Amino acid sequence: MTQQADAQDQIARGGAGDGKYVYDRWMEAQGVPVHRGYFIEDLKTIEVAPWGERECDAAFVQLSGMEGVAEARITEIAPKASVPPMRFALDEVIYTVSGWGIATVWAEGVAKHSFEFGPRSLFLIPRGSYRQFANARGDQPLRLLHNNYLPVAMSLEPDPGFYFNNSYAHPELLQPKGDDLYAVAKRAPAMGRGATWYGNFFTDMGAWEDLVPHRARGGGGHVVDVSFPNSQMGGHMSVFPPGTYKKGHRHGPGRVIVIPAGEGYSIMWPEGGEKIVAPWHEGSMFTPPDRWFHQHFNVSVTPARYLALAPLPQFSGWSEDVEDRARNQIEYPAEELWIREKFEEELGKHGLKSLMPAEAYENLDYKWGYGEGEESGANIGARASGK
Ligand SMILES: [Fe+2]
């Protein structure tokens, strides 16, 4: 076996001995920080370091529950700077942590598409296309969060060249019928819980409205599904009012959850195990590990919102099938008293009081009041993807 083949063989068998996946070895070899744990309180400020080959600063975020499932990577582009074009063989979703930028996307034989984006923008770069990013401002860095399924893919084909130096292109993905490739997303015909937005570009997830009630998860919450054309990638965003919290629930791993607006915290715990409290505000990120219960709490005077970027459907966890409801969701009357006591304590630190209706703790079938005329998004029989 040649030295190169031997190295490839070792990489391909990388998951066997020490619990690391092939992707982990590649990630750790890039020479930039890897941030671990259960949550990142502020993606805007975590340490990044120069990533020579990409000519920008970068860091990886690999939280418990993401391993082997999803990549989350920060890149930071200096004021006035741009990074060299590159091609990537997989779909990639990008969320703007901070700053303003210009993206250019193309493939052989397809004209370049350029578009501007700003804080909390969300967009998809189709698989196999070239992309180039530039900082549109001269006075501040541009910081991006990249999300893709490279960890899963590398377990099948461990050679990085397959993903970063692959000439297989999908020009058809860059030539949509009708709208411009990066036209602002539009509301799609109702699917699942009633509101789906479809497109390659979401201007500002902190300001995105037109959600529908999500009655099954409590807290007076609303939800919207995010769907990208021709891609398995997607997610949803939930918005819930001040002084309330959602029901505890659980599902599969790998969701990259970021906070576009609001202030609060989430509690995550394995059944019967220690509880992790993840405080959050705009720019925070967390991932509930596989089959861990988790619950979201708003301790501010404004609505809170979280954007959950989904893993591959194979990892969904199917948590909201009706027959599984009792095992996968904790109704308010069944929750530990500590949950609401801590909520009141945390609100007290802000001079606030709980707005949870007393009946919600007594009536298993309590129906949150929503405005007249709002369509129902309740669909507890729908497949879960971390909703
Ligand atoms: Fe969830």
Per-residue model confidence (pLDDT) at position 8 = 59
User: What does the pLDDT average to over 278-282?
Assistant: 98
pLDDT (0 to 100) of residue 379? 32
How far, in Å, is the centroid of ligand 1 from the Cα of 186? Answer: 25
Share above pLDDT 70 across residues of the chain, in percent, rounded to a whole number: 88
Q: Specify the range with the lowest mean pLDDT, choosing from 5-14, 188-197, 240-249.
A: 5-14
Residue scoring higher pLDDT (56 or 19): 56
Å from CA of 73 to ligand 1 middle:
21
pLDDT at 6 over 70: no
pLDDT of residue 182: 94
Instruction: Read off the pLDDT of residues 153-210 as tens digits, 9 standing for 90 and up.
Output: 999 999 999 999 999 999 999 998 877 899 999 888 766 677 899 999 999 999 988 7
Q: 30-70 pLDDT, tens per residue?
A: 999 999 999 999 999 999 999 999 999 999 999 999 999 99
User: pLDDT class for 381, splitting at 50, 70, 90?
Assistant: very low
In the structure encoding, which two tokens stand for residue 51, read together? Answer: 């990533």
Find the mean pLDDT for residues 69-74. Answer: 98
Residue 373 is predicted with a pLDDT of 47
47 or 367, higher pLDDT: 47
Confidence grade of residue 102 (pLDDT, cut at 50, 70, 90): very high
**Mean pLDDT of the region 73-96:** 98
State residue 11's pLDDT score. Answer: 58
Burial of 6 (0-12, 13-18, 19+ CB in 10 A): exposed
Predicted confidence band of residue 81 (pLDDT cuts 50, 70, 90): very high
Q: What is the average pLDDT score of the chain?
A: 89
Distance 251 CA to ligand 1 centre (A): 6
Q: Give the domain 186-361 fold.
A: Jelly Rolls (2.60.120)
CA of 367 to the centre of ligand 1 (A): 20
Predicted pLDDT at 377: 36
In the structure, ligand 1 is a single-atom ion and the residues with CB under 5 Å from it are 386
More confident residue, 6 or 339: 339
Would you state the pLDDT for residue 215?
81
The DSSP bridge pattern shows strands 285-286 and 329-330 to be unpaired
If you measure from the C-alpha of residue 170 to the centroid of ligand 1, how many angstroms do you get, rounded to a whole number? 33
281: CA distance to ligand 1 center in Å?
17
- Give the distance (Å) from ligand 1 centre to CA of residue 291: 10
Mean pLDDT, to the nearest integer, of 282-300?
96
Ligand 1 center to residue 267 CA distance, Å?
11
> Per residue in 337-350, pLDDT tens?
999 999 999 999 99
Whether CATH 3.40.470.10 fits 3-174: no
Integer Cα distance of 1 and 174 in angstroms = 42
Q: How confident is the model at residue 4 (pLDDT cuts 50, 70, 90)?
A: low
How many A from CA of 160 to the centre of ligand 1? 31
Domain ranges of the chain: 3-174, 186-361
Pairwise pLDDT comparison (7 vs 231), residue with the higher score: 231
Domains 3-174 and 186-361 share a fold: yes
Confidence of residue 13 (pLDDT cuts 50, 70, 90): low
> How confident is the model at residue 192, as a pLDDT?
67
Question: 220 falls in which pLDDT band (50, 70, 90)?
Answer: confident
CA 293 to ligand 1 center in whole angstroms: 8
Answer whether residue 291 shows pLDDT above 70.
yes
CA of 193 to the centre of ligand 1 (A): 15
| Averaged pLDDT, 93-101 | 98
**Does the structure show a pLDDT above 80 at 105?**
yes
